[in-house]
Amino acid sequence: MKTEDLGTLEVTAAEIVIPGEPDPDARFAFTGDMPEDKVYNGSEQKWEPTISDKETGKTLAKGTDYTVSYSEDCTNVGAVIVTIKGVGNYSGEVVRFYHITKAPLIVTTSSASKRYDGTPLTADGTLEGLVNNETATFRTTGTITEEGTAQNTYEIEWSGTAKETNYTIAKEDLGTLTIERPYYTLTINYVFSNGATAAPTFTQQLLRGETYSRMSPTVNGYTPNYAFVRSDANGIQQNITLTVVYTAIPTPTHRPHQPHQLHRPHRLHQAEAQQQRRQMEHRLEQRLERTKTVMLKLFR
């Protein structure tokens, strides 16, 4: 029997090489879903590759023809590294990666308004987008007490099962809190001095800071202690109650008619009168002297 040495047939494993970009000439290729970024959903998200062999026309079997391993964390936000290694009739190693991205959250806070009453104004809000029944503490922090506006802000406390690093605020719709100018009441009572009503009570609603001027009504036979009630330049700043008191106007007393009396002339000043009297006496003395002289001449 004749034998023939035909040599040694060596069968080598086919190296799995998959280009990063699709290549029609490449022997191996991924089929089905490609590795794509995934949005965080609270669960493990592993990409399962499917590999086809163009030369044999078969789809490689995981575990028989290749193995797949992943980086440690395939749940939380971050990069996931996938390593594919050929086994059995295949060799080589292919590495691919994708990312788990943050889940979007939507925050909405309400608007509210009221007239000033000295107490804080607040409003509620909502947080939407937590996945897989995860929890976090959400609260609105907006508040306003004085007249004006304020944004209804919020805060998230990551004290539950949700992790802040797995979420992002994708949309905010924040409300506005508004405290409007208050109304105050001006009340004016009109009374007599004994407390009885003199005229109907006047009331008026005014916005804080509005000025006012009110003339007291006329009551026949009486006069008010305030003809006008006016505010200063700052206007009304609180509820005000004022009282205007009316008192009777006195009636004139009529006296009996008296006949006109002649007025005596004013007396001269005493010193002046004495001087005049001395002058008159002096003139009389002079006249007497002249008379004596004339009489002596006649009798001589």
Written in H, E and C, the secondary structure of 152-168 is CCEEEECCCCCCHHHEE
Q: Give the closest residue to 146 by CA, choosing from 174, 172, 101, 182.
A: 182
Whether residue 150 contacts residue 143, with contact meaning beta carbons closer than 8 Å, is answered with: yes
Q: What is the pLDDT of residue 99?
A: 97
Lowest mean per-residue pLDDT among 1-15, 103-117, 271-285: 1-15
The string of pLDDT tens digits covering residues 194-246 is: 999 999 999 999 999 999 999 999 999 999 999 999 999 999 999 999 999 99
pLDDT digits (tens, 9 = 90+) for 36-49: 999 999 999 999 99
pLDDT at 26: 84
The sign one gets for the Cα dihedral 286, 292, 296, 299 is: positive
Output 285 or 163, whichever has higher pLDDT. 163
Q: Is residue 190 within 8 Å of 224, Cβ to Cβ?
A: yes
Pairing of strands 222-224, 240-248: antiparallel
> Of 9-13, 46-50, 88-92, 177-181, which gets the smallest average pLDDT?
9-13
State the pairing for strand pair 183-192/176-180. unpaired
Residue 268 has pLDDT above 50, yes or no: no
Q: Is the pTM of this model over 0.95?
A: no
H or E element in which residue 281 lies:
helix 270-299
**CB-facing half-sphere around the CA of 3: CA atoms within 13 A:** 2
- Work out the pLDDT band at 119, boundaries 50, 70, 90: very high
Instruction: Band the pLDDT of 296: cuts 50, 70, 90.
Output: very low
* pLDDT per residue as tens digits for the range 33-86: 788 999 999 999 999 999 999 988 999 999 999 999 999 999 999 999 999 999
Which range is least confidently modeled, 153-167, 190-204, 271-285?
271-285
The predicted structure's pLDDT at residue 280: 76
Please report, as a single letter, which amino acid is at residue 45: Q
Q: How many Å apart are CA 25 and CA 56, to the nearest integer?
A: 14
- Give the mean pLDDT of the chain: 87
Average pLDDT in the 271-298 region?
A: 64
Assess whether pLDDT exceeds 60 at residue 6.
no
Cα 70 to Cα 41, 125, 177, 252, distances in angstroms: 18, 40, 50, 115
